[in-house]
Amino acid sequence: MKWIKFLTQNKIPYYIYKLKREDFIILNKKKSNIIIILSGIIFITKVFPNKELLPLAILDKHSILIKNNKKVKTYYKIIALEKAYILTLNEYSINKSSINILMGINIFNGLKKTIDNYEAMNNIMSQKQVKNRIIQLIFTICLQFGKIKSQKISIPFKLSNKNIAILTGTSENTVNKVIRTIYKKDIIKELSNKAISIKNILHLK
What structural domains and CATH numbers belong to the chain? 2-125 (2.60.120.10), 130-203 (1.10.10.10)
> Rounded to whole angstroms, how far apart are CA atoms 116 and 62?
13
**Strand extents, DSSP E, 48-136:** 53-59, 64-67, 75-80, 84-90
Q: What is the pLDDT of residues 26-71, one digit of tens each?
A: 876 666 778 899 999 999 998 888 888 899 999 999 898 877 656 5
Q: What is the pLDDT of residues 156-202, one digit of tens each?
A: 788 888 999 999 999 999 998 988 887 776 666 654 455 566 665 55
CA angle 56, 85, 88 (to 5 degrees): 70
